[in-house]
Structures are given as C-alpha cells and as structure tokens.
Amino acid sequence: MIRSHHLPLMVTLATFVLAYALCGMQYPSMFSTRVVANLLTDNAFLGIVAVGMTFVILSGGIDLSVGSVIAFSGVFLAVILRDTAIHPLAAFVLVLCITTAFGASMGALIHYLEMPPFIVTLAGMFLARGAAYVLSTDSVPIDHAFYDVLKDIYWKAPSGGRFRLIGGLMIVTFVVAGLVLHRTRFGQNVYALGGGAATARLMGVPLAGTTIGIYAVSGGLAGLAGIVFSLYTSAGYSLATVGVELDAIAAVVIGGTLLSGGYGFVAGTFFGILIMGLIQTYIVFDGSLSSWWTKIVIGGLLFAFILLQKGLTWATTTRRKTATGFATQS
C-alpha cells in the first residue's frame, strides 16, 4: 500500500502522465523530442528557483523575493559585462555570492527578529527589485563571446530535439537538491524545522544555522536562475520575471509539498514545473486559446492540490486519533 505521505507525489505524477497522454492523443507531435527539449529549456530558470522554494516551503516558510533576485542578477550581469572587462565566469561567481549572502541575511532577520518570513522576504523583494532599477531601467543586451559559446552547448537528440545546457543544469540542480534533502544532516534539519520549530529545537536542530542556510540556498538558487535566465534571454531587464515567485510557489504546491512544511519531495516540484510547462505548451499548440487560460488552469490546479492536502491531513489525523483511542481503551 502507498504510504499516505507519498500519495501527493503519486497524484502529481499521475496528473502529469494523464495530462501528457491527453495532449499527445490530440497532438501526436507533442511526444517529439523537440517539445520535450523545449519544455526543459523554457522552464529551466523556473525549475531552479522552484528547487530553492521547495527548501523554504519544506521548512514552513515562504520566499517572496526570488523573482526580484532573478531580475537583479540578470541586470547585474548585463551591466557588469557591459561596463567592465571581467570574464562572465567571474561575474557568475560574484552574482552567486551576492544572492547567497542576500538570502542568508534575510534568513538571519527571520530567525533573530522572530518576524514572519512573509514580511521579511517582502522587504527583500522590494530591495532586490529596487536595486535592479537603480542599476538600469532599460533592457541591457548581453553581447559576449562566452555567452555564445555557452549557448551553443547542446545535445541533439536523433529526432531533432536540442537539449541545451540550461535544461541540463536544471536537472542537475534537482538531483543535487534531492541528495541534500534526503542524504545530509542539513536536509533532515529542514524537514525537522518544517515539522515544528519547537520540536526541532528539542531534537537539537540548530535553528539559526538551518534557517539562515535555507534562505541562503533559496537566494543562491535564485541567483543561479538569474544566470540561466540571462543565458536564455541574452539580456538583463529590471522589469523581467515579475511574479515568478508565485509560479514557483504554485509549482511546489502542485508538486505535492505541504505548505505548512515538513512533508514533500523535490521530485514532486520537478513534475509540478513540467505540468505548468505542459499547460503552456498545450495552449501554444491549440492556438485558439488565450494565454490567460494558463493562469486560470494553474489557479484551479493549485486549489485542487490544496484540497487534496487538506483531505489527506484530515484523514491521517482522524486515523491517528482512533488509533490512540484504541490504545487508551486496551
């Protein structure tokens, strides 16, 4: 029998397989490697940022700043490559350092000031977006030989699909995140924190270090997503990626992670991203549907998965109650 906390993941997987099969029946070309490759490439930055969001939500928090951090990273890269002779790789490292430090300081504020993550990361959102505006309000093109080299790295599947570097980077991020969450002490601490801060403290989980680490991971991955986004668009624009944090949260929830924290898998987030990408691809294939249907369908899916989680939580707590009831009787 499937254990109840695996059920949301299974439902996500089944939703994806079913949706993909239905799409494929209507448009057989949806099964081509081109579509699969584009699904990975187009959603690479969203996937990477959703991994960071998975960490945050597993710990019972939320990070609203990621969209702005992506925009900031893009603008920062564009401006620094335009104005200085620094090599893009060094600029990448610089961006990752800045965004990780930014995330870590938000985590520190959340822990030491005991303020809700919601409002602290809201301030972070304004700050990062404002910093991007201050750097440049125009869309700054990136024209660097190294960018062309990176963009030309791809593996061409026999039937024509091009699996690009950034899609691969997203998959690597998911695999590494899965290993960190399930095979390291930090990962276990994240789950413990999501299960309840008081319990986690009693278990000896270092709360400060874990909280700061979680938001540093989220910030760092948002920086990585910013690099990927700048490779994807070859430009930095301070108004880009508005509302990406909502897409990332939606992907995590559709992926079966409990929003109150403690339960969930990074693999679920991967399929959540693919489901969202699939909806967009279907709308493109259909041609007559308007793009705003994406938002409505994602909102509906979000609602369905929240209901599913509620139902499961309710079912497990009643079962546990009856179990303890029997225990006290006997």
Comparing CB distances to other proteins, the nearer of 180 and 306 is 306
Cβ 127 to other proteins shortest distance, Å: 4
- Dist CA 243 CA 253 (whole Å): 16
Tell me the torsion sign for CA atoms 246, 58, 46, 266: negative
Nearer to other proteins (CB atom), residue 137 or residue 322: 137
Q: Which residues bind other proteins (CB under 8 A)?
A: 60, 62, 109, 112-116, 118-120, 122-127, 129-131, 133-134, 137, 196-198, 246, 249-250, 253, 259-260, 290, 292-296, 298-300, 302-303, 306-307, 310
DSSP 66-95: HHHHHHHHHHHHHHHHHHS---HHHHHHHH
Contact 257, 6 (CB under 8 A): no
Q: How far is the CB of 266 from other proteins (least distance, A)?
A: 19
Of the candidates 61, 58, 43, the one whose C-alpha atom is nearest the C-alpha of residue 247 is 43
Q: Rounded to the nearest whole angstrom, what is the least distance from the CB of residue 323 to other proteins in the complex?
A: 22
The beta-carbon contacts of 147-155 under 8 Å, at least 24 apart in sequence, are: 147/88, 147/231, 147/234, 150/231, 151/231, 151/234
Beta carbon of residue 79, minimum distance to other proteins (angstroms, whole number): 13
Token pair 């007559």 is at which residue?
288
Q: Which residue has the tokens 């599913």?
A: 308
Residue 267 in tokens = 């693999």
> Which residue lies nearer to other proteins by CB, 169 or 193?
193
Q: Which is nearer to other proteins, 217 or 249 (CB)?
A: 249
Least distance to other proteins, CB of residue 99, Å: 16
Contact 275, 247 (CB under 8 A): no
**Shortest Cβ distance from residue 139 to other proteins (Å)?**
15
Other C-beta atoms within 10 Å of 200: how many? 22
Between 61 and 167, whose beta carbon lies closer to other proteins?
61
Q: Are strands 154-156 and 140-141 parallel, antiparallel or unpaired?
A: unpaired
Q: Does residue 28 contact residue 216 with C-beta atoms inside 8 Å?
A: no
Nearer to other proteins, 86 or 296 (CB): 296
Q: Rounded to the nearest whole angstrom, what is the least distance from the CB of residue 293 to other proteins in the complex?
A: 7
Which residue reads 């404002």 in tokens? 130
User: Per the structure block, which two tokens stand in for 121?
Assistant: 């990361």
Is the Cβ of residue 292 or residue 326 nearer to other proteins in the bound state? 292
